[in-house]
Amino acid sequence: MAKNVFAVQIFFIVFRECLEAVIIISVLLSFLKQSLGGPEQDQVIYKRLVRQVWLGSFAGIVICLIIGGGFIGAFYGLGKDIWSKSEDLWEGIFYLIATIIISFMGLALLRINKMKDKWRVKIAQALAEKSAESTKKTTWLGDWSRRHVMFILPFITTLREGVEAVVFVGGVSLSLPATAFPLPVVCGIIAGLAVGFFIYRGGNLMSIQIFLIASTSVLYLIAAGMFSKSVWSLQYHTFAQRVGSDVAEEGNGPGSYDITETVWHVNCCNPETDNGWDVFNAILGWQNTATYGSVIAYNVYWAFLVLTVSLLIYEEKTGSLPLKNQFLSAMSKVPGLRGWAAKKRANQNSNVNEHEVFRQVQAAGLLRE
């Protein structure tokens, strides 16, 4: 079996989380630059705050690296035997988890610019809270956190993104060998830093956008392939259960697959055994045996995605989804979902609050000098 040294899904997850962290840090730095970076302002305070941002970032990164290392180490130290026994079953389940994770985070990659604004709002919100606190009675801790807000924000941000990355990478790649980790993680970090830097510098926006679109497309190709593979693995598991241990010995030939479920089978190009085809397997979900289940799953996934994205586009263009209110009011009558529907409705009207926050921030003089 070809040694799996580059898990594409890991690359993209690390890339995305890294990008997000870089954007937050860059937003913070530009805040500082805007508010304190001017020549006539206090350079000492400015440099101290900038240093705080970097310190916070690196502290967060180091801690999340420790957590991540422990997490993955524990996982490989303790857990590996459990799933090696019924490998296909676990592979099916892990692929399913990975598909869900990637599906949710993928589109956000295309709205990375939106993400930047989102973080502006969030950071402003955080600052507004701090300034609101400052008027109250201060505790020692509250005082410390107020003075070190520029340390705490990036610290928490990088820590959060880092742990998120670790959990996602773990979830997506539970079934991968340890050799598949280092390279995509390093590449993901480099790519994330590079793109983040471009965004910060305000370079050619169009080329970044195209890069993001391309990588999101690849991400969804992977996700569709994984969903298909998930169904395939679960089917294969039930087949292998019936056949017994013999099935793995069969290689490519007859008996290595369930012919009555098969849409196509070619006696070659087995991603498990033939070099090169494992790349197609990783990116496009290629199997030399396609079952009805895996083909249908692949197409259903894309259909679902196309529908979701179309709705998103429609919502962005018009500001609302057709039947959204009707749907929500219907949902609010369902006992278990009442809270969820109410929350959704509240969110629809929440923009005003963000504006309010900005006003407060501005009033507190944190965005301006």
Partner 1 sequence: MNSFTRAAALFAASLGLASAATVNYDFNITWVTANPDGAFARPVIGINNQWPIPRIEANVGDRIVINVNNQLGNQSTSLHFHGLFMNGTTHMDGPVGVSQCEIPPGHSFKYDFTIDQPGTYWYHSHHNAQYPDGLRGPLIIHDPKFPYRKEVDHELVITLSDWYHDQMQTLLPIFLSKGNPTGAEPVPKAALMNETQNLTLPVEPNKTYMFRVINIGAFAGQYLWIEGHTMRIVEVDGIYTEAAEADMVYISAAQRVSFLLTTKNDTSANFPIVSSMDTTLFDTLPDDLNYNVTGWLTYDSKATLPEPALVDELNPFDDMTLVPYDKMELLPEPDQVVELDVIMDNLRDGKNYAFFNNITYTKPKVPSLYTAMSAGDLADNAAVYGEFTHPFVLKKGEIVQIVVNNLDSGRHPFHLHGHAFQAIHRSEEEAGTFEDENLSESDYPSVPMRRDTLVIWPNGNIVMRFKADNPGVWLFHCHIEWHVASGLLATFVEAPLEIQKQFTIPDDHLAVCDAAGTPSKGNAAANTVDFLDLTGENRAPKTIPGGFTPRGIVALVFSCLTGVLGVVVVAWYGLSTPLELVPLEVTRIVENSEVTETSAAANGDESRAAVSSSNDASGGAISRS
Determine, following the binding rule CB under 8 A, whether residue 227 of this chain makes contact with partner 1.
Answer: no
For β-strands 289-291 and 262-265, DSSP reports them as antiparallel
Determine, following the binding rule CB under 8 A, whether residue 178 of this chain makes contact with partner 1.
Answer: no
Residue among 1, 3, 5, 34 that touches partner 1 (CB under 8 A): 34
Determine, following the binding rule CB under 8 A, whether residue 131 of this chain makes contact with partner 1.
Answer: no
Determine, following the binding rule CB under 8 A, whether residue 202 of this chain makes contact with partner 1.
Answer: yes
Determine, following the binding rule CB under 8 A, whether residue 190 of this chain makes contact with partner 1.
Answer: no
Q: Are 222 and 12 in contact (CB under 8 A)?
A: yes
Helix (H) or strand (E) holding 311: helix 292-318
Determine, following the binding rule CB under 8 A, whether residue 251 of this chain makes contact with partner 1.
Answer: no
φ, ψ dihedrals at 12, nearest 5°: -70, -35
φ, ψ dihedrals at 174, nearest 5°: -55, -30
Helix (H) or strand (E) holding 291: strand 289-291
**Single-letter code of the amino acid located at 277:** W
Residue among 36, 309, 341, 364 that touches partner 1 (CB under 8 A): 309
Determine, following the binding rule CB under 8 A, whether residue 303 of this chain makes contact with partner 1.
Answer: yes
Picking from 72, 64, 270, the residue whose alpha carbon sits closest to that of residue 160 is 64
The residue assigned the tokens 């999101």 is: 216
From residue 80 to residue 119, the character string flagging contacts with partner 1 as x (rule: CB under 8 A) and all else as - is ---------------------------x--xx-xx-xxx-
Residue 273: CB minimum distance to partner 1, A: 17
Q: Which of residues 52-81 bind partner 1 (CB under 8 A)?
A: none
Q: Are 193 and 23 in contact (CB under 8 A)?
A: no
Residue among 62, 66, 178, 306 that touches partner 1 (CB under 8 A): 306
φ, ψ dihedrals at 290, nearest 5°: -105, 135
Residue 275: CB minimum distance to partner 1, A: 20
Residue 48: CB minimum distance to partner 1, A: 22
216/281 with CB nearer partner 1: 216
Q: Catalogue the long-range contacts made by 30-33 (C-beta closer than 8 Å, 24 or more residues apart).
A: 30/200, 31/123, 31/367, 32/150
Query: What DSSP line would sit under 255-280, residue for residue?
Result: TSS-GGGEEEE-SS--TTTSTTHHHH
Q: What is the DSSP letter of 138?
A: P
Residue among 67, 93, 100, 295 that touches partner 1 (CB under 8 A): 295
Determine, following the binding rule CB under 8 A, whether residue 275 of this chain makes contact with partner 1.
Answer: no
State the virtual CA torsion across 97, 100, 101, 106 in degrees, nearest 10: 150
Residue 306: CB minimum distance to partner 1, A: 5
Residue among 213, 248, 321, 334 that touches partner 1 (CB under 8 A): 213
- Binding stretches for partner 1 (CB under 8 A): 26-27, 30, 34, 38, 107, 110-111, 113-114, 116-118, 120-121, 199-200, 202, 205, 209, 212-213, 216-217, 220-221, 224, 242-243, 246-247, 249-250, 253-256, 258-260, 263-267, 284, 290, 295, 298-299, 302-303, 305-306, 309-310, 312-313, 316-319, 351, 354-355, 358-359, 362, 367-368
